[in-house]
Chains A and B, each alone.
Chain A
Amino acid sequence: MINLPLGYARKIAGAMLLSERNGAIGADVGYDTFSLRTSRAMWSIAGAKITNTGKTADVASTQGHHIIEPLGFDVREAALGKKEEGGMIVHESTLAAFIKNPKAPHNHSEKLIPLQLFPEPYAHAAKRPGGPTGFNEPHAWGMTIDMNACVGCSACMVACQAENNVPIVGKDQVIETRSMHWLRIDRYYKSSGETFEEKLSDPTPQITYQPMMCVNCENAPCEQVCPVAATVHDAEGLNTMVYNRCIGTRYCANNCPYKVRRFNYLDFQSRIPGEFKKPWLGIPDTQQEESVDKIKSLVFNPEVTVRMRGIMEKCTYCVQRIKNVTNHRRIEWLDGKREKVTVDDFDVITACQSACPAEAIVFGDLNDPESLVSKQQSGARSYQVLQELNNRPRTQHLAKLRNPVKEPGEASQEKAGTHGAPTA
């Protein structure tokens, strides 16, 4: 039996109607399966013949970039010959184990050694016990991502793309693994079996979704290697990207352990997909202005810079939203309408956060002991991905807890806890 998906393909698309140029976004995408679908047999065809045409087609899949089976931990484990349950990157455990020992999800991780490189006055006193010591004036922005709540729906990716003018690169560039999404959903699989081959053939692997975007390291490896100071830290802990200072050495992306930086290899914003590799003979700096379709430019979020070719970009924690809110709050504070200059919890909502149906993404001020993000980061499930590198990321992930029907080696059904995820 062969299943054919319907939809996802178009011969002609909207932008094409507006532009005289061919090859507009969304045109000539996918394969037409409607010719097989008649009104007599809407859902299935019996007796269809399949012949091998001998042709091949490249499949462009952004998900495929991040799929881990069979290349993930199992490969690293097999290479090292030792077992890393859950691994260093994805912290997870069963609910029963978590109830017995709240540190269970982090059992296999390296120790966190929070070294402060610089003494006073560079390190500031924490504004609350256990809060960030540095880059905390007046806010200390932070985020948590709950891997327990994430269902991998990708709404956050779409929201981020719409908010931040993230370019659409087209099929050929996706095949070259140059998709520009600032936020990606990493999928880590865990399969049972002793040997590597057994693991590969496990029909029901377990999956963990780990949304990953710039984690705004306090001790950011990208900042130290940029020769032109195009990525620098601000006072509130944002790892800012100065687009018009960037010359595109790409060293930052190499040194980023999370690989969340995205480079504009071609003029993705102003050209039509499929035409990216046509030379531009004008003055480079005016390329965007002259080649962006005037109607297409109406699609852009006016509050976010549209990046040109040759520069690096990455998640900004939606800095435009942060600045909008903090500026208004500061004005209110100056006018005496407000007691504190800092924002309230949930005043600033990032695009990904607003789109998440499971409320897996929480953003806020880590200086505020009452903010949800502070509470979550003090919880037992919270951890820093790759914390052993001492990058001190401001985004922390919340470990995944599983509540399997049967524990391996246990006869009775596990009934610890209630249905659903416990709060940290």
Chain B
Amino acid sequence: MSGLEAALRVDRGVFGLDATLTVPPGHVVALMGRNGAGKSTAVAAVAGLVPLDAGRVLVDDVVLEDTEARVSVPPEHRPVGVVQQQAALFPHLSVLDNVAFGLRTGGARRGAARDVADRLLTAAGLAGLRDRRPSGLSGGQAARVALVRTLAREPRLVLLDEPLAAVDAELRPELREAIRAQLTAFSGSALLVTHDVRDAEALADDVVVLDAGRVVQRGPLAALRAAPAAPIVASLLA
């Protein structure tokens, strides 16, 4: 069991992404950087949504992509869950059916998938939302449902792309706590993209700082704060 091990190179015009990322099993790593630093590209590349120009992606020792060996597992077959910036709940499905969606693609029957989804929503304290449409949810509720939906498939790695970005500032502490509880109960690894150091403080074991597609510094938050390798690190962690 080795969590995520990724060497990512994506060529994009002026500057691309050229970074190695590791998440030890069961850990949460915060991927931080300014807008355009390559955070979302890294998430898309690990998920298989953007092809690598060079590199490898391994999750729990399983090769998902290896450009040299010409291996590329399609995104729908990777044990990788993604929570997008705006929760992206399916607007035509109830909260319950949203959570059941990933279970059904895994082969579960409708009734069985709904039973499991119901149980997961109840465990997350969201049972009251089960019959609502996504349009009737607050930003925070949608983010929590999206995380339940992603974890329902029991991925080995979950990628959270700015899950708090669409939520009002005063509601973030509560949502952070809810996400923390969810991730604590989750046995896989997690990569959390954020530009808010409070997210990293509350949720992450380690921090990786990305700038212009390169890793500037990585390590525990306290260590980076004590000795920032570049001004960008100090300003992000301020």
Judge: A and B partners, yes or no: no
What residues make up the interface of B, taking CB atoms closer than 8 Å to A?
none
What residues make up the interface of A, taking CB atoms closer than 8 Å to B?
none
